[in-house]
Homo-oligomer: A and B are copies of this chain.
Amino acid sequence: MSGSTFGTIFKITTWGESHGAAIGVVVDGCPAGLALCEADIQKFLDRRKPGSSQFATQRKEADSVELLSGIFEGTTTGTPISMLIRNTSQRSADYSEIASYYRPGHADYTFDQKYGFRDYRGGGRSSGRETIGRVAAGAIAAKLLSELGITVTAYTESIGDIQISMEHFDLEEARRNQTGMPDHAASERAEVYLKECMQKLDSAGGVVVCRVQNLPAGIGEPVFDKLDANLAKAIMSIGAVKAFAVGDGTNVSTANGSTNNDCFRINEGKIIKETNHAGGILGGISDGSEVILRAYFKPTPSIFQKQETVNRSGENISIQIKGRHDPIIVPRAVVVVEAMTALTVLDLLLQNMTSQVEKIKQFYTL
């Protein structure tokens, strides 16, 4: 059934395949009165654009967004915003061979099993290009959040075994280099590692961190639409993510309550937490601290080494994948994580507006 819609109040529906005519998204439920132009969207799309790095597929795509509806005189009208990005560099020839077999680590086999057949060109709907719609929509969510003073920031924390050091944290650096790491030295080490991977015809994984700042306390809808639950879904729905964590994440399983609990304190008249092991979420609701999450990405499955697999006729075969593929998806995925986080946080922020009778009364008597 339909699975291409995300969100409840601020709702997006993405569409499009790697080698179809275009990729796009419809954003429904965007409030009226937000100044919005194509440049706001393009800025985000450019961050995930292929061809801009030696570690990204050499496929060249302009990925220019076209805003088709929902805007009048530079402002959102409250009606659905449709955005379209044409596919311009579809070398289907590269993919024709793929039709006959199942690439390891890809969704070829599972799509065939689910739908009876598949669009085999470039992964079709399971291609990374599917995330274009998410990023375009996320750009709008991020802009609306920023109007409320809330910022969402993602970056690469590690590639393979190479971790950034928070001592040298420099977000500008992350936006400039080819790894997305906010640490110049770590980024250089990661580049060396990635070149080694490429020489071995291999690929690498990594971790993306995302932080949400200035989110008010109270966001998240127990017991199923908790902030962390909805973020988990949002992030795990990105292809290649195999694990998700908030705050101290997997480490909590070996911690004790005495060290894992964050004590509350009064600071300049406001309630704060002294530490933030919880990653800004208690009982599925934001607690006013920074929200911190992590997405763990697997290595790109398209490697150029010889691999064993089966073909559609049910025979064991050896294959060697050709084409244009990223040796690592992480740097380009940073903005996707940011987009999905912004979409989730905004949707729950809007959902929270109906939580108290008093506030509803005030709203309707403004």
Specify the chain B residue showing the minimal Cβ separation from A226: B237
Q: Nearest-CB distance from A310 to chain B (Å)?
A: 4
> Which of A41-49, A52-60, A167-175, A202-210 has 4 or more CB atoms under 8 Å from chain B?
A202-210
Give CA–CA (A278, B243) in the complex, Å: 11
Q: Is the CB of B233 within 8 A of A229?
A: yes
Q: Number of contacting residues on A, CB 8 A?
A: 168
Is the CB of A323 closer than 8 A to any CB of chain B? no
Q: Is the CB of A13 within 8 A of B28?
A: yes
Of B9, B78, B252, B258, the residue contacting A242 (CB under 8 A) is B252
Which of A15, A107, A125 counts the most B-chain CB atoms under 10 A from its CB? Answer: A15
Q: Nearest-CB distance from A117 to chain B (Å)?
A: 7
Specify the chain B residue showing the minimal Cβ separation from A197: B256
Of B71, B104, B248, the residue contacting A261 (CB under 8 A) is B104
Is the CB of A63 closer than 8 A to any CB of chain B? no
Specify the chain B residue showing the minimal Cβ separation from A25: B26
Chain B residues contacting A230 (CB-CB under 8 Å) are 233
Q: Known contacts A110-B282, A115-B355, A147-B357; is A243 also within 8 Å of B236 by CB? A: no
Query: Could you give, for residues 222-239 of chain A, a 1 whenever the CB lies within 8 Å of some chain B CB and a 0 otherwise?
Result: 111110111111111101
Q: Nearest-CB distance from A300 to chain B (Å)?
A: 6
Give CA–CA (A284, B123) in the complex, Å: 13
Q: Which of A98-125 contact B (CB under 8 A)?
A: 102, 104-107, 109-111, 113-119, 121, 124-125
Q: Which of A336-360 contact B (CB under 8 A)?
A: 349-360
A-B contact pairs, 7 of them (CB 8 A): A22-B82, A31-B355, A78-B355, A109-B217, A110-B217, A233-B233, A233-B236
